[in-house]
Amino acid sequence: MQLNSDSINSVLNHTGTLNLETDRFILRKFHISDVHDVFTNWASDKDSAKYNAWSVHTSQDVTKEYVTEWVEWYKKKNYYHWAITDKETEEVIGSVSVSNIRERKKYCEIGYTVAQKRWNQGIATEVLIKVLDFLTDEVGFETIRALHDIRNISSGRVMKKAGMVFVKNKTQIFLSGQNLVMKCSVYEYKKVNPQLR
C-alpha cells in the first residue's frame, strides 16, 4: 500500500478514516479487539483470499500483526481503511481500503472484502457507494479505480452497481509474499458534477 505524505501541497482535504454509516452498517477504524472477527470472517478463509493479493492467515497472531499495523497507520490523515461493522451484531464482517493515492491527480484506488458467510446480501455495493461518495464529496478525489480478478465476476457486478464503469482488462503484478501475476478488470468512478446534469 502506498501512502503519500505530501500534506504541504495537498490538493485533497484529507480527513483520515472517519466513521460512516449506511442503513445496515457502521464503517469505522479497526481496533485491536477486532482481530478475532478479521481472522474468523475472512483472513483465514481460502475462498475469501482466492481472488485477492493477500495470503490466508495461518493464525490469529498473524492477523494481530496486520491489525496492529492498520491501527498505527490511522495516525496519518491520508490513510483510509474501514471495518465494516454490522449494526445489529456489532460483528466486523469486512473491510474497505484506499491505496495508490495520487495527490495532484486527485486519484486513488479502492478495495473491499466481505466475509463469505455474508456474500450475496448487497453488502459490498452498499458500503462501496457510501465510501465512493465520501471520497469524492468530502476528500475531493476525482477519479477512483478498483480492479478485480477477471474470474471474480461478482466483484465486477458490485462495481457496476456502485456506479463504476469498466475501463479495461490488464495484467497486474502484486509484489507481496506471493508475487502474484493476475489478469484483472479495471473499473473507474468519477463523480458527476451536479451542475452538468
On whether residue 54 sits in a domain, the answer given is: yes
3-state secondary structure the chain: CCCCCCCCCCCCCCCCCCCEECCCEEEECCCHHHHHHHHHHHHCCHHHHCCCCCCCCCCHHHHHHHHHHHHHHCCCCCCCEEEEEECCCCCEEEEEEEEEEECCCCEEEEEEEECHHHCCCCHHHHHHHHHHHHHHHHHCCCEEEEEEECCCHHHHHHHHHCCCEEEEEEEEEECCCCCEEEEEEEEEECCCCHHHC
Range of 57's domain?
A: 20-141
Percent of the chain with pLDDT over 90: 64
On whether residue 9 sits in a domain, the answer given is: no
On whether residue 107 sits in a domain, the answer given is: yes
On whether residue 86 sits in a domain, the answer given is: yes
What's the pLDDT at 37?
Answer: 95
On whether residue 72 sits in a domain, the answer given is: yes
Count up the domains in the chain and report the number.
1
On whether residue 78 sits in a domain, the answer given is: yes
What's the pLDDT at 182?
Answer: 73
What's the pLDDT at 57?
Answer: 66
What pLDDT, in 10s, does the model give residues 89-142? Answer: 999 999 999 999 999 999 999 999 999 899 899 999 999 999 999 999 999 999
What's the pLDDT at 8?
Answer: 41
What's the pLDDT at 6?
Answer: 41
On whether residue 147 sits in a domain, the answer given is: no
Identify the CATH number of the domain in which residue 90 sits: 3.40.630.30
| pLDDT bracket for residue 26 (50, 70, 90) | very high
On whether residue 91 sits in a domain, the answer given is: yes
